[in-house]
Amino acid sequence: MNVTNDLVLITGANRGIGLGLVSGYLRKGCRVIASCRHPESAQNLKELAYQYPAALNIEQLDVKKITDFQSLARKYHQIPIDILINNAGIFPENHAGTGITAADPQQMLAAFETNALGALMAIQHFQDNLLKSSNPRIINMSSQMGALSAAKGSCYSYRMSKVALNMLTKCFAEENKKIITIALRPGWVKTKMGGINAILNVDVSVEMIMKVIENLKIVDSGQFFDNEKNLCNW
């Protein structure tokens, strides 16, 4: 990939795919704002900051708290952001799946708050920064479990929250035609969320994700892609 000076804001950046994207974009020559709930304990990010002191800023951000977004937006006021990656997410249920009887309303609220409203607040607070970029892109990290066409009778909170995230993607892409906004499936990745049976290593998934992002065009806005840029069914 060509070296660039893009500024990339990544939520949920302290582990898994988020951490992999931070590392990948730093290697590419980008500047990165890596946000997470507890920067003080994000040792892997601290190590990257030691390697890339001029390129990486680690910021505190709990995507459930509007006050955190307000503080971060004030700090980066008027600074162009080229790529916003809404990566922060939770999967409250057991991977074995739970049906409607065991569905926990509190888990549903937590998943919706993090997986959907967190992305909405990120777009709200950094839309103006993105509009200052010559090639602004928003990546909402979604899942096949957020596709109505792939619905199953389990994992209600995660599935419903990702459907909401996909709707956010479509709505904002229609509202703002200047920012490329997509939903992206990273694949089944070996992370804490993905579990040990997942088929992709983080580095492989990140390389594929970055390639998709690099090749996005304005006509792609409002679409749902997998990690090879194949269109996915909603």
- Whether residue 233 is contained in a domain is answered as no
Structure tokens that stand for 29 in this block: 């020559």
- The CATH number for 108's domain is 3.40.50.720
Total number of domains in the chain? 1
**Residue-number span of the structural domain to which 164 is assigned:** 7-225
- pLDDT 10s digits, 49-58: 999 999 999 9
- pLDDT 10s digits, 111-142: 999 999 999 999 999 999 999 999 999 999 99
C-alpha to C-alpha distances, 47 to 42, 143, 174, 211, nearest whole angstrom: 9, 30, 40, 25
3-state secondary structure of 97: coil
pTM score of the predicted model: 0.93
